[in-house]
Amino acid sequence: MSLVRCVKLELLFLVICIPVKRGGNSPGTIYLFIIFNVLLCFRSRNDVQTCTSWKAPIIWEGMFTPSHYDQIHRNKGSSVALTVFAVGRYLDAYLETFLNSSEQHFMSSLPVTYYVFTDSPELVPNIKLAPNRHLKVIEVERHTRWQDISMMRMKAISDVIESDIRHHATHVFCFDVDQVFTGRFGPEALGDSVALLHAHYYHLPRMLFTYDHNPKSKAFMKTGDFYYHAAIFGGSWRSVKALTEACYRSIMADKENEVEALWHDESHLNKYFWLHKPSRVLSPEYCWDTSIGYRKSTFSEVPNKVKPKHEVCY
């Protein structure tokens, strides 16, 4: 283990005292205390990109000490709302496994409220929740096409943030239900605006990113920074509300023009993060598809945070 990693990961704060002369005729000096947050060690993973061009961290395993983030967010009083849609066959096939695995691994040190959006509230499984964990069921309309379900979730999330979440949670994370948590997904992932790098595109050249190239669509992009996965996104409730409202407006504008973005809400999400850069980016480790295989030369060998239960067609 490198010296940089050993030192920076174990120091919570570094305080430097700088002598500054007093102004006017006052003798002596005062000391300016500068506190540097060194919770993240960017040089501990020299095999991958750990910072974006706009200086947002890209979070990889090995860059942080988990207990530091747990303690800081407990002290701050952070709490998290998790939204997930389980409509039609997705409820029976995936919801129970998703919730049980979340109880084991998702933000276990913080209060969490699950917001389950479904067309069959009576079929939501009765999950045993840990203290300070709650589950709310919200009935939604079932659309004929899964594409419409995927796109309309943006409005549903925005509405529930306005009516409920903003009064009870500091942060929101939005997940696809056909996934399972297999390792810690903790407060190190929290930020004002959080995006996830798509595992299938991380190693591809930018020219192969499947942005929407139709100029008639509001999701139209010639290029971008990364390709983001809509299976997981989050941030403060204000930022997630702004994101979902913007994506919904773009989706509705496309409908009026009889246009549909290539990858539906994911295309609009990528356009939004191109215009409004995320303040925190999660590495592909946070949602790894094992059908891709394991690349030990590139990714750490720790368990994945979340993995799809089947190969998701994005």
Residues with a known catalytic role: 266
Residue 264's Cα: distance from chain center in Å? 19
Angle subtended at Cα 275 by Cα 47 and Cα 228, rounded to the nearest 5 degrees: 40
Residue 186's Cα: distance from chain center in Å? 11
Please check whether residue 40 is in contact with residue 51, taking contact to mean a CB–CB distance below 8 angstroms.
no
Binding residues: 85-87, 90, 176-178, 198, 210, 266, 289
Rama region for 184: left / alpha / beta (φ>0; ψ in -120 to 50; rest): beta
Q: Distance between CA 282 and CA 5 in Å, rounded? A: 20
Please check whether residue 31 is in contact with residue 17, taking contact to mean a CB–CB distance below 8 angstroms.
yes
* Residue 80 parent element (H or E): strand 80-85
Q: Distance between CA 48 and CA 12 in Å, rounded? A: 23
Return all residues near 2 (Cβ < 8 A) that are at least 6 apart: 43, 44
Please check whether residue 250 is in contact with residue 26, taking contact to mean a CB–CB distance below 8 angstroms.
no
First to last CA, the chain: 37
Tokens of 103: 């109880």
User: DSSP character for 197?
Assistant: B
- Write phi, then psi, for 266 (nearest 5 degrees): -65, -35
**What's the longest Cα–Cα distance across the chain?**
78
Binding residues for UDP-N-acetyl-alpha-D-galactosamine: 85-87, 90, 176-178
